[in-house]
Amino acid sequence: MRARHLTPAALLLPFALLLAACGGSSRAEGGGGTGSGTDGKGSLTLNVGDQKGGSEALLRAAGELDDLPYKIKWSTFTSGPPLLEAINAGAVDVGAVGNTPPVFAAAAKSKIKVIAGSHSRSDGETILVKKGSPLKRPAQLKGKSIAVAQGSSAHYQLIASLKKAGLTPKDVTLNYLQPADALATFTRGKVAAWAVWDPYTSQALDQADARVLTTGQGVVNGLSFQVAAPAALDDKKKSAALKDYTDRLRRAQNWVFKHPDAWAGAWAKETGLPEKVALDAVKRTRGTAVAVAVDKAAVASEQRIVDEFAALKLIPRSYDFGKFVDRRFNGDLPPSGTAPRTYGKGH
């Protein structure tokens, strides 16, 4: 049976396996982050929080875990928020998240520092509707029900898209659902639309009779971050390891852009995604990322998310996002507004 003919229930397995960085789940696997083994050698250990098919898989596929002069102990989390909770607790030194989880973590006064950034295309940040839906533009969402993961990058993308269309969250009914539950709800027609991110976008387009109503292009900042524990940054040896680690991630991302098929194959094997869906997500979003500086423009862009969520009472207060940034690893990286890569027309 080909993947696109799977029933909604059968589709839940790969969705459950995918643990996306932008998500808003409230807990890690096993309640705290599951160990995924250790790489490297030496007396220093860097504790890295990851998500299924995330940094570990990326670095391994690109060969960047070979000859590590320090150890990396991996812990796997369901999404960005619990990963940031672990960083705040000192259980993890660094981890990758999307543009919105740090906003919520910092609002809670968590001990975190954004240390590195990447800029991707936002075509995979979408609001999806069924192919047969009469909805043709975001303004027509007024009065409709929409599935979205609370606190995720999709949550902000939805709010920003509604605002651009002259609407507010009060004009729609928000159903806060994680992707696996949202998929089932969307497939059964229980909601009119679904705000989500890649690779879920690519999978829904391939398997759930979905089409794109609108994307995040020109609406969201397309940024994602490496977030570290201040205590790790204050440790001279760990700080050096963090610099090396972010350099390896940058080289690995360069490798992905040049080898999309190889990465899609590795990513599919790691997550349970069909390889076609993985390749679509790589070319639409994941392979387009470029490493960028966490500069004033990046901070200003994140500050707009802070202020928007504060105005909507989704976080308790506004605050200075810049206080949760450490720019020591910016080096000669290009500005945060540097255009992402592209695989050409249609992606």
What does the pLDDT look like over 69-91, one tens digit per residue?
999 999 998 778 889 999 999 99
C-alpha distance across the termini of the chain, in Å: 27
More confident residue, 79 or 233: 233
At residue 151 the predicted structure's pLDDT band, cuts being 50, 70 and 90, is confident
Tokens at 264, concatenated: 């899609």
Return the pLDDT at 35: 54
Q: Tens of pLDDT along 36-60?
A: 699 999 999 999 999 878 899 999 9
Q: Using an 8 Å Cβ cutoff, are 186 and 209 in contact? A: no
Token digits for 323? 């206080």
User: Letter for the amino acid at 217?
Assistant: Q
What Rg value do the Cα atoms of the chain yield, rounded?
19
pTM of the model: 0.85
CATH 3.40.190.10 fits 38-121+222-324, yes or no: yes
- Chain CA centroid to CA 262, Å: 21
Q: Which has the closest alpha carbon to 95: 242, 294, 282?
A: 242
Please give the structure tokens belonging to residue 183. 């998929």
126-215 shares the fold of 38-121+222-324: yes
Domain spans of the chain?
A: 38-121+222-324, 126-215
Report in angstroms the alpha-carbon separations of 172 from 65, 95, 146.
46, 34, 7
| 3-class state of residue 115 by DSSP | strand
Cis upstream peptide for 199 (omega within 30°) = yes
Phi, psi of 106 (to 5 degrees): -65, -35
Cα–Cα dist 210/203, whole Å: 9
| Whole-number percent of the chain with pLDDT over 70 | 89
- Categorize the per-residue pLDDT at 179 as very low, low, confident or very high, splitting at 50, 70 and 90: confident
Tokens representing 304 are: 């707009």
Q: Which CATH number fits domain 126-215: 3.40.50.12500, 3.40.190.10, 3.40.50.10860, 3.30.300.30?
A: 3.40.190.10
Tell me what the pLDDT averaged over the chain comes to: 88
DSSP 338: P
